[in-house]
Amino acid sequence: MLKNYLKTAYRNLLKTKVFSLLNIFGLAFGITACVLILHYVNFEKSYDRFHKDGERIYRLRYDRFDSEGGAVRFASCCPPAAPLIREGYPEVEKIGRMLHVQAGVSTLLDGREIKFLEERIFFAEPDVFDILKFHFIEGDPLIELAEPNKAFVSSSVARKYFGSQDPIGKVLSIDKKTDYRIVGLFEDVPSNSHLKFDILIPWKNLENQYGPQYYEEWGHTGSYTYLRVKPQTDIAAFENKLDDLVTSQCPWLKEYKMTIDLVMQPLYDIHLTSHYLQEYEVNGNRDNVNFLFIIAFFIILMAWVNYINLSTSRAITRAQETGLRKVIGASRAQLIIQFFLETVLINFFAILCTMLLIKLLTPLFSQISGIPLTVGMWSRAWFWEAIAGFFLAGVFLSGLYPVLVLSSFKPSRVLKGRPGISQRGINLRKVLVIFQFVISLALLSGTLTVYKQLSFMRRQDPGFSMDQTLVIKAPRVRDELFSEKMVTFKETLLNNPNIAEFCTVTEVPGRQIYWDNGAIRRAGEDISKGKNYMIVGVDYDFIDVLDIEMVCGRNFSKQYSTDPKALMLNETGVKWMGFDSPESALNQQVDYWGEIYTIIGVVKDYHQQSPKQAFEPQIFRLMPEGRDIRGHFVAVLNAQNIKESVQQINRQYEQFFPGNPFDYFFLDDYFNQQYKFDELFGRIFSLFAGLAIIITALGIFGLASFSAVQRTKEIGIRKVLGADVKRILLLLIQDFVFLLALAGLFVLPVLIFGINRWLESFAKRMDLDAFIFVVPMIIVLCVTLFTVSYQTIKSATANPVDSIRYE
Amino acid sequence: MIRLKDVEKYYSNKFVKTWVLRNIDMEVKEGDFVTIMGPSGAGKSTLLHILGMLDDMSGGEYYFLDEPVHQLNERKRTGFHQQYIGFVFQAYHLIDELTVYENLETPLLYKKVKTSERKSLIAETLDRFNIVAKKDLFPNQLSGGQQQLVAVARALIINPKLILADEPTGNLNSKQGLEIMDMLKALNDEGTTIIQVTHDEKKAAYGDRIIHLLDGYIDKIDERN
């Protein structure tokens, strides 16, 4: 029996090759899109899930509010909180701190110096690794990190510095200031950890760097604090206790009319929801993840709807066989089994295709989505569950309706040549097609919106110039001759005809400024008026080198010996400080932590971050030598010989600042990488919009051929009465245009709502215009016309005699 | 074997009833060879479909081997097909995707006949209809007469008590037609009950009773013997 069914099914698939391929590929594309999205969603949701007891682990954050309720929210915390919590709060099992630094790291290997700039170094307390369970290969961090001058490195770092040699016992010098002996080795931190580090050094060494008062400073954020609470701890009650702790420890807050909140942030929430100041890395976005998940759902739904459409429209041709089988004794149950078997077969082939597609697409998708290839899908349980799920759901959801329709045909009618296709079935198919139109239109409009907004942002004048601008990390290893060296270094570079301009600055545009100071106010104002500002340390040339415009006043100048006590604000800063206009701010005095500065100029707002972010209040301070942390050199190159210029600068740099690794980037690349996530979103969106269009076209093809078959006789009669192909084409296309118009009406309000919602996250928004709604309509219309015409012309040019004789 | 009492059939469209059959009373005994005749639209095929349980009736009673068919559920009726009834149609109605062998096999599969018995039944039938050489061909590789031969063979393979034939020779040339009719006659002689629908007086003459239908009513019944 089974053999007979399979044989029929198989031969049927072969007989209607086009239909079978449409079916199989439609399903395969849908499932592939879905699995890829699931892969992405799963990866995003897998962040930090590998830690044991993760639901009891929290990161302690820090919020500061000024007297007017203005909030500054940090991902990090202040150093003195952790030891007090460790002592006085039994509900906390463990608590530990980490501080992220970048540094030049060097070592001697066989008499040769090896040095790199390391961007992922952490000072860490041992308890951190009791809380967060990373995989250590050698050495016990709980013991070793309790003592100073020891270091743990990752396997990759060990390989980078020491090749195949055993790293244990080797010495790393950090910024040529402190030597650390390597006592342990850990596996590279998984890519789905919100915290990523390459080198761990003891928290105790921090004291050497910042002095003991660092540990007592409640206003100083920057270190991350993790803690694990006992089971069943009431988090809200615990946070209230922390409020009391802050009040008792910081009596000065009253004077400033400020408050500090210590906030418990669940570990699992960090990656998808945390977007505060001083995040270790830019975190993901839960909205985007959920949104993609919904898209995945609709895509698979479309694929199934398609399958239903194609199979029921094919049912006409299958009706005769069905009726016949009934006549020769098939029961309904037997027919249902047979048709289900065909569905199983098609879904099976679709799954095979899916696997192949996924195999082929994985490298590309890894590139697009940024998920490392090492995070494979094939070995994951969810992957096989999803595949099995799609298969079973596909068989039942997409098979059920066609099977019921086919098996319910009345044999007597079928044999008379009138298959029982009811009007209800046709209406259902129309609804399904409208559904597909709606999804296609929505995805197309969405894609256009994302791209238009992106290009809108890129067209914005950033307010500074970034052409041929090379940025070099300023040397961290500095000796007492640094000031003189800086001057000569600059002169040497400017003497080089390849280098046009040079300056030094603490932060170049391209990311949020890391240096912020609170409690800054106009001189004479009450202490409670103090607010938070982003601080940029600049030299005399920064404004000119980056072509930043001044609104009024003047730039720092060597002609004024008073300038070290002067500062500049940006326009947003002027408003933030409460001045009515930039002009009125000039020559006013600012109380910056007890020192009085004079405002000498106002800088036009430029985009420190991508235009997605709002302008932030900035204070520019004069620092002709830059800073050793977060310092940058900026060199504008002449157009020719870029590569050679970089090499020349490299040589000079090494000569002037030995022991410092030469680490550089181009400003435009650096700035543009802020668009990475939105571009990724745009690419993913367009990929799936493309898939949706294909699936819709398949669906329309199915319905068009169905209605062409259905109306064969009508077309024949009309032709006999003298209608030409053109008129018949028009007749059939009308239906689809009507459905498309209906879909357009449905989708418009949803789109306007959705697009506005999405645009809310951008500070600078494009204007909505008809373009993003009309173009998708035209595209879908063209696809529809093309598909329908193909089918219709085929039946319209057929000999009418054949079709009329049919009855 | 078959008893119809006041059987009627209509299609209702909105509030208008279109009558196809009315007041049909008839009886068919085992071993009968009945012919149904009448002009186009008289209800011949519908009557045959009702007799074959392919179509529901709108009213009346139908007893098949004393079972009230009008009260049976679909499963029971499917059982009757498999057990007792074979169909032959004007358009040969073979399953295009299956070979001659597989076409013959299908009703046996539906009837859940055991493999060994199935094989011998098929072999026997192929032999009897002289189509052994054609067993691996698909229907579209056969001529019309050969296809109808296979269709008849398929109807007979379950050894039915009743054969329903709807213009079995309508699409055949006269020689092929005669062969098929002779075969039906021979089956009838062996005891199979046959009900056929035809336009053709000559073919009608094979039967021992002719029921004339006109506009859904039984117009008259000719008894031959």
Residues near A709 by Cβ (< 8 Å), separated by ≥ 6?
Answer: A313, A316, A317, A795
Inter-chain CB proximity B54 and A320 less than 8 Å: no
pLDDT digits (tens, 9 = 90+) for A468-487: 999 998 888 778 888 888 88
Find the residue in B nearest to A15 (Cα).
B97
Query: In this predicted model, which residue has the larger pLDDT, B73 or A142?
Result: A142
pLDDT digits (tens, 9 = 90+) for A14-72: 877 777 887 888 888 889 888 988 888 889 899 999 999 999 999 999 998 877 777 88
Inter-chain CB proximity B110 and A326 less than 8 Å: no
Average pLDDT over residues A715-734: 77
The answer to whether the beta carbons of residues A668 and A509 sit under 8 Å apart is no
| Number of cross-chain residue pairs from A and B with Cβ atoms under 8 Å apart | 72
Task: Name the token pair of A229.
Answer: 């609470």
List the Cα angle A455/A457/A462 in 5-degree steps. Answer: 125
For the ranges A263-267, A687-691, A765-769, the maximum mean pLDDT occurs at A263-267
What whole-number distance in Å separates Cα of residue A62 and Cα of residue A283? 18
State ipTM. 0.79
- Phi first, then psi, for residue B201 (nearest 5°) are -55, -40
- Phi first, then psi, for residue A633 (nearest 5°) are -100, 140
Which amino acid does the sequence have at B165?
A
CA A44 vs. chain centroid, Å, equals 9
Residue A269's pLDDT band (cuts 50, 70, 90): very high
Residues near A31 by Cβ (< 8 Å), separated by ≥ 6?
Answer: A300, A303, A350, A351, A354, A387, A390, A394
- Total structural domains in chain B? 1
Nearest Cβ partner for A324 among B93, B109, B111: B93
Using an 8 Å CB-CB cutoff, list chain B residues near A7. 97-98, 102
Percent of chain B residues past pLDDT 70, beyond the cut? 98
Alpha-carbon distances, residue A732 vs A117, A480, A743 (angstroms): 68, 86, 18
pLDDT digits (tens, 9 = 90+) for A87-100: 989 999 999 999 99
For the four alpha carbons of A624, A629, A633 and A634, in that order, the dihedral sign comes to negative
Percent of chain A residues past pLDDT 70, beyond the cut? 94
**Residue A506: helix, strand or coil by DSSP?**
coil
**Residue A334: helix, strand or coil by DSSP?**
helix
Find the residue in A nearest to B81 (Cα).
A329
Residues shown for chain B: 225
The answer to whether the beta carbons of residues A638 and A439 sit under 8 Å apart is no
Provide the residue ranges of all domains of chain A, joining segments of one domain with +: 2-43+286-457+676-804, 56-273, 469-674
Please compute, for residue A352, the number of CA atoms within 13 A of its CA located in the half-sphere on the CB side.
8
Which amino acid does the sequence have at A526?
D
pLDDT at position A417: 52
Residue A458's pLDDT band (cuts 50, 70, 90): confident
pLDDT at position A381: 85
- Phi first, then psi, for residue A77 (nearest 5°) are -140, 175
The answer to which of A365-379, A527-541, B189-203 has the lowest mean pLDDT is A365-379
Average pLDDT over residues A777-782: 88
> Tokens 């990161």 identify what position?
A59
Residue A263's pLDDT band (cuts 50, 70, 90): very high
* CA–CA min distance A330, chain B (Å): 6
Nearest Cβ partner for A324 among B49, B82, B95: B95
Mean model confidence pLDDT for chain A: 85
Average pLDDT over residues A510-530: 85
What whole-number distance in Å separates Cα of residue A550 and Cα of residue A531? 23
Query: Looking at the predicted structure, is the pLDDT value of residue A540 above 50?
Result: yes
* CA–CA min distance B224, chain A (Å): 30
List the Cα angle A218/A224/A228 in 5-degree steps. Answer: 105
Interface test with B, best of A327, A413, A807 (most B CBs within 10 A): A327
Q: Using alpha carbons, select from A188, A731, A670 the residue that is nearest to residue A466.
A: A670
Mean model confidence pLDDT for chain B: 86
Nearest Cβ partner for A8 among B54, B81, B97: B97
* CA–CA min distance A703, chain B (Å): 24
Residue A182's pLDDT band (cuts 50, 70, 90): very high
Inter-chain CB proximity A4 and B109 less than 8 Å: yes
Using an 8 Å CB-CB cutoff, list chain B residues near A320. 93
- Phi first, then psi, for residue A183 (nearest 5°) are -115, -5
First and final CA of chain B: distance in angstroms? Answer: 19
Residue A802's pLDDT band (cuts 50, 70, 90): low
Average pLDDT over residues A679-708: 75
Using an 8 Å CB-CB cutoff, list chain A residues near B109. 1, 4
Pairing of strands A92-109, A171-174: antiparallel
SS (H, E, C) A458-501: HHCCCCCCCCCEEEEECCCCCCCCHHHHHHHHHHHHHHCCCEEE
Residue A666's pLDDT band (cuts 50, 70, 90): very high
Average pLDDT over residues B70-91: 81
Inter-chain CB proximity B81 and A329 less than 8 Å: yes
What does the DSSP 8-state code read for residue A798?
S
Using an 8 Å CB-CB cutoff, list chain A residues near B98. 4, 7-8, 11
CATH number reported for the structural domain that contains residue B162 in this entry: 3.40.50.300
What whole-number distance in Å separates Cα of residue A160 and Cα of residue A143? 26
Inter-chain CB proximity A328 and B154 less than 8 Å: yes
pLDDT at position A807: 37
Using an 8 Å CB-CB cutoff, list chain A residues near B115. none
Find the farthest-apart pair of alpha carbons in chain A and give their distance in angstroms, rounded: 108
Interface test with B, best of A11, A322, A328 (most B CBs within 10 A): A328
**Residue A447: helix, strand or coil by DSSP?**
helix
What does the DSSP 8-state code read for residue A277?
B
List % helix, strand, coil for chain B (3-state, nearest 5): 40, 30, 35
**Residue A538: helix, strand or coil by DSSP?**
strand
Interface of A with B (CB under 8 A): 1, 4, 7-8, 11-12, 15, 320-321, 324-332, 334, 410-412, 415-416
What whole-number distance in Å separates Cα of residue A93 and Cα of residue A513? 35
Alpha-carbon distances, residue A63 vs A259, B129, B219 (angstroms): 8, 94, 99
pLDDT digits (tens, 9 = 90+) for B142-179: 887 888 888 888 888 888 889 998 888 777 778 878 88
Average pLDDT over residues A290-312: 81
Average pLDDT over residues A541-561: 93
Inter-chain CB proximity A415 and B110 less than 8 Å: no
- Phi first, then psi, for residue A532 (nearest 5°) are -95, 135
Inter-chain CB proximity B95 and A8 less than 8 Å: yes
Query: Looking at the predicted structure, is the pLDDT value of residue A156 above 90?
Result: yes
Percent of chain A residues past pLDDT 90, beyond the cut? 37
- The boundaries of the domain holding residue B10 are 2-223
CB burial of residue B83 (10 Å; 0-12, 13-18, 19+): middle
pLDDT at position A805: 46
The answer to whether the beta carbons of residues A14 and A353 sit under 8 Å apart is no
Which amino acid does the sequence have at B79?
G
Find the residue in A nearest to B110 (Cα).
A330
What whole-number distance in Å separates Cα of residue A258 and Cα of residue A55? 32
Using an 8 Å CB-CB cutoff, list chain A residues near B57. none
Task: Name the token pair of A652.
Answer: 């000079």
Residue A420's pLDDT band (cuts 50, 70, 90): very low
pLDDT digits (tens, 9 = 90+) for B12-31: 777 788 888 888 899 999 99
pLDDT at position A90: 92
Find the residue in B nearest to A334 (Cα).
B110
